[in-house]
Amino acid sequence: MTARLGASVNGALARADWGRNAVPYARKKSKSFTVLAGVALAASLIVAPLVGSAASAEEPALVGKVGVIQDAGQEQNKTSYWEQEFSEFDAKCYKHEGNDINNSHGKLTNGGLTVTLNEYDDSWWGNQWVVLVVKSGNLNNVIENPVAGTAYASPINNGGQQAQVSHWIVCKGDVPEQEPEQPAPLKSDKVETTFDCETDVATVTTTTTTTPYVWDEQAQKWVLGTPVVAEPVVTERPLTDEEQQDCPPDTTVVTTEWEDGVWECGDTTVEQTREVTTTLVDWQGNPIGEPTVVTETRTRDLTQEELAECPLVPGEIESVCLGDVPYLGYEVSLPEGYEVDSETPVTITFVNPDGEDYVVENQPLAGTLLWPGASASAPKMWPGWALVDGEYVETDGNYAWTREGVTVEFHVNPDYETAITYPEATALCANPPIGGGDEPASTPSAPPALAVTGGGVSPILPIAGGAALLMGLAALAIVAYRRRVAS
């Protein structure tokens, strides 16, 4: 939008560009924004235009935007004065007193020190604000082409301080519109090139920055806006011979596979070795000097599968008697580093050389197990014996094959096996009573049982004399057995 404003030599109103592509300036008509001060210097009266207090370097900083500060006379307090001044825009002016703090045109802001105009209403006369006059004391702050939303200052008072607005005049006008030509945006390219001597490729990254021009309402001109950086454009090309010659000598590295060393059961790690051969080459790939061979070592943990290749570690494993009942007492340990997620991981197998094995699963790592064919509750039984018509008779059945020596396997994932001999015939628990009586075939003192750990079949059986007496005897037997083994 433009307005045309100016003054001819004889005071006639001329037209000059004024609007969106022009900076507001003080109007120069001889009758505008001036007061006359006469001084008799000679025979003539000299009329000098005064520009308010604008020339004072001692003025305090004002709150709000300042246009042109001018002395205010009686005429300048009238809307008709300003309508005449801006008649070229068919101006219609409105006066608002300082106590009119808010109306459709604008409002007092900053505690009454500034005036802020509202957005121009399309239903109003004209198409824009053409002038705002803010008065306080004897001065006017005159702002041509004011902008809505901007706080415009009141002038200072006679005491040198910014005064409260006494009144303000605003004028609407019909300003011819003209679309100013927007300058072409500024563009700049930033080019970065990196060289990869390993792949013989040059990577070119081009980043374009575009800065558009935007319209500055206050300055009424096109100004540079915010730069916009485009996504970088990346291209590749082969290195030239000259660029390749600038590359440092390359290296070729040949590495053998890691090779395990020797490890034994009980180890949890194994040492590995490999050879690394490094050769320097020039940009054409020709070797430089002799290659360098280095042996590297590292240690890795053995896997659970590898640890499972080791057998279980045996402790005390033998046949034992608890009262007149035969048991297998055992104790095995897992290989070092091997882990299980159960408290009863052991499967115990009595190996039958001529038939089906006897298998018991879900056993602890140490404990006692009732001998195959034996019974700890009435009617008590022994392997190789059967109860016929109330009398015990020898038989080839009832796991008789376990009496002459049997192989027992212990399996978790690691395995262990050993040969176990059934208690000798002279043992208290070897055979049933003869003829169906209450006494066994022989009555020597029974060997003590191994300690029971980790659960499993309880070896504590009821016998004559009560359960408490049997538990005390068993404990004494365990202590005696441990001492004998230790010795």
pLDDT digits (tens, 9 = 90+) for 378-402: 999 999 999 999 899 999 999 999 9
- What is the rounded average pLDDT of the residues 421-450? 60
Residue carrying structure tokens 């441990």:
482
Domain limit, last residue, from 130, 151, 173: 173
Do residues 291 and 361 share a domain?
Answer: no
Rg for the chain, CA atoms, rounded: 56
Q: How far apart are CA 157 and CA 165, in angstroms?
A: 10
Q: How many Cα atoms are found within 13 Å in the side-chain-facing hemisphere of 317?
A: 20
**What is the DSSP code (8-state) at residue 83?**
H
- What is the rounded average pLDDT of the residues 21-50? 32
Share of the chain above pLDDT 90, in %: 57
In this structure, which long-range contacts are made by residues 348-355, counting pairs with CB atoms below 8 Å and at least 24 apart in sequence? 348/408, 348/409, 348/410, 348/411, 349/408, 349/409, 349/411, 350/399, 350/402, 350/406, 350/407, 350/408, 351/406, 351/407, 351/408, 351/409, 351/417, 352/401, 353/401, 354/401, 355/401
Beta bridge partners of 436: none
Domain limit, last residue, from 267, 286, 302: 302
**What is the DSSP code (8-state) at residue 434?**
G
Give the DSSP H/E element, type plus range, for residue 304: helix 304-307
Confidence of residue 30 (pLDDT cuts 50, 70, 90): very low
| CB atoms inside a 10 Å sphere around CB 421 | 12
Q: Is 468 left (phi over 0), alpha (psi -120 to 50) or beta?
A: alpha
Residue 334: inside a domain, yes or no?
yes
- What is the rounded average pLDDT of the residues 42-68? 56
Q: How far apart are CA 460 and CA 478, in angstroms?
A: 12
CATH of the domain at 271: 3.30.160.150
pLDDT of residue 485: 35
Q: How far apart are CA 481 and CA 329, in angstroms?
A: 12
Structure confidence by residue, pLDDT tens digits, 406-423: 999 999 988 889 999 889
Confidence of residue 59 (pLDDT cuts 50, 70, 90): low
Structure confidence by residue, pLDDT tens digits, 183-218: 999 999 999 999 898 788 999 999 999 999 999 988
Structure confidence by residue, pLDDT tens digits, 240-278: 888 888 888 878 899 999 999 999 999 999 999 999 999
- Which residue has better confidence, 296 or 46? 296
In the predicted structure, residue 57 carries a pLDDT above the cut 70: no
Residue 413: inside a domain, yes or no?
yes
Give me the torsion for CA of 431, 434, 436, 439, rounded to 10°.
-70
pLDDT of residue 135: 95
In the predicted structure, residue 356 carries a pLDDT above the cut 70: yes
Q: Among 11-15, 109-113, 425-429, which is the least confidently predicted range?
A: 11-15
In the predicted structure, residue 172 carries a pLDDT above the cut 70: yes
Do residues 191 and 233 share a domain?
Answer: yes
Do residues 276 and 129 share a domain?
Answer: no
Residue 1: inside a domain, yes or no?
no
Residue 349: inside a domain, yes or no?
yes
Residue 181: inside a domain, yes or no?
no
Structure confidence by residue, pLDDT tens digits, 294-339: 999 999 999 999 999 899 999 999 999 998 999 999 999 999 999 9
Residue 178: inside a domain, yes or no?
no
Q: Note down the domain range covering 290.
A: 250-302
pLDDT of residue 58: 57
**What is the DSSP code (8-state) at residue 125?**
S
Do residues 65 and 197 share a domain?
Answer: no
Residues 6 or more apart whose CB falls under 8 angstroms from that of 81 comprise 75
Amino acid symbol at 191: V
Residue 427 · residue 442 · CB < 8 Å? yes
Residue 141 · residue 69 · CB < 8 Å? yes
Do residues 320 and 452 share a domain?
Answer: yes
Do residues 330 and 479 share a domain?
Answer: yes
307 phi and psi, to 5 degrees? -65, -30
Q: Is the pTM of this model over 0.75?
A: no
For the chain, what is the domain count?
4
Do residues 292 and 437 share a domain?
Answer: no
Residue 169 · residue 175 · CB < 8 Å? no
Do residues 153 and 222 share a domain?
Answer: no
Residue 327: inside a domain, yes or no?
yes
Give the DSSP H/E element, type plus range, for residue 265: none
Domain limit, last residue, from 149, 173, 197: 173
Do residues 276 and 326 share a domain?
Answer: no
Do residues 338 and 456 share a domain?
Answer: yes
In the predicted structure, residue 25 carries a pLDDT above the cut 80: no
Residue 22: inside a domain, yes or no?
yes
Q: How far apart are CA 408 and CA 239, in angstroms?
A: 74
- What is the rounded average pLDDT of the residues 63-90? 93
pLDDT of residue 271: 96
Do residues 126 and 23 share a domain?
Answer: yes
Q: Among 76-85, 143-152, 466-475, which is the least confidently predicted range?
A: 466-475
pLDDT of residue 86: 94
Do residues 165 and 206 share a domain?
Answer: no
